[in-house]
Amino acid sequence: MSKRTMMDATILRHAVSIVGAGPGDPDLLTRRAFRRIAEADLVLRDLLVPDALLAATGTRAEIVDVGRRCGSAEGQDARQARINTLMQEGWQQGRRVVRLKSGDPLVFGRAAEEARFLAAHGIPYEFVPGITAGLAAASLAGVPLTERHRASAVLLCTGRTAEGEPDQAEDWAALLAGGTTLVFYMGLRALTGLVSRLRAALPAGTAVDVTAISQASLPAQRQVTAPLDSIAARLEQAALEPPVVFILVLAALPGEDQNSIPGCAFTPAAV
């Protein structure tokens, strides 16, 4: 056995941890996520994971920002290849690698692609769940996603449509009209077009309320609620900062309780 082979054999290699950071407030990290970050040697983090969340864990890991920044010339495929290489190299070096994603890694997080890469290269991995932004935003804003006699289902959607994918506005409108709550991620830039397509597809006379929650769980959290027809104008006035989650529900009928629950107290951690 060569000296290099003997050295490789003595390296204790840990599973790569694909960790959900939740919506951003360190208090909303799971205990397992907290431990994985605290014990990591290398953290590959997405853009939406705040510095204060990492600081709260006391981690001394090397932090590498791998999120896609607006205006970056790096393509999505090239960025993903770089992330894959960093995970692989870190694991080969015997480092505790954490791939840190905002929200939950398996909800619009591309974690499945990264896990398949690791599996194809014989690298053990684990998923550590996190609170996805849509669920956190709804709870922190006091907007029930399901409620007896009003909404029996909820659908998580993306406001971005990849090239070649069909427009799902008609399907979304049918579900919405039937009482399904729709939660849209990454829809701020696409909102005007999305609203137009939904209005065209909804049955005549269907009234829909929209709640937009910006930076859910962080000190800068803000929210705006308006009818579907006027939400775009209200958002332009409010100038909400991304990320923004949109919750669409059928408007309450006369005599019914409103969709949002008044008096919901929210105190974020000091991040």
pLDDT in tens, 101-160: 999 999 998 999 999 999 999 999 999 999 999 999 999 999 999 998 888 999 999 987
Q: Give CATH for domain 133-250.
A: 3.30.950.10
- The average confidence (pLDDT) of the chain is 89
**pLDDT at residue 48 greater than cutoff 50:** yes
pTM equals: 0.88
- Percent of the chain surpassing pLDDT 90: 73
pLDDT at 7: 42
Taking CA atoms, 96 is separated from 80, 109, 120, 130, 230, in Å, by: 20, 21, 19, 19, 49
**pLDDT score recorded for residue 6:** 41
Residue 163 has pLDDT above 60, yes or no: no
On the question of pLDDT at 74 being above 80, the answer is no
**In the chain, what are the domain boundaries?**
3-128, 133-250
**Of the candidate ranges 31-35, 44-48, 184-188, the one whose mean pLDDT is the lowest:** 184-188
Between 116-120, 166-170, 258-262, the lowest mean confidence (pLDDT) is in 258-262
pLDDT at 159: 82
**What is the per-residue pLDDT for 68?**
72
183-205 residue pLDDT tens:
999 888 888 899 999 999 999 99
**pLDDT of 257 strictly over 90:** no
- Is domain 3-128 classified as CATH 3.40.50.2300? no
Question: To 5 degrees, how large is the angle CA 41–CA 44–CA 47?
Answer: 140
CA distance 194 to 191: 5
Q: How far is CA 7 from the centre of its chain?
A: 40
For Cα atoms 55, 32, 12, give the angle at the middle one, nearest 5 degrees.
90
Question: Do 63 and 43 touch, CB atoms closer than 8 A?
Answer: yes
Q: Find the mean pLDDT for residues 39-67.
A: 97
Residue type, 241: E
Evaluate if residue 264 carries a pLDDT over 70.
no
pLDDT value for 148: 86
* Of 134 and 164, more confident: 134
Domains 3-128 and 133-250 belong to one CATH topology: no
Lowest-confidence pick of 52-56, 61-65, 156-160: 156-160
Rounded mean pLDDT, 209-236: 95
- The pLDDT value recorded for residue 1 is 46
Q: DSSP 3-state assignment of 163?
A: coil
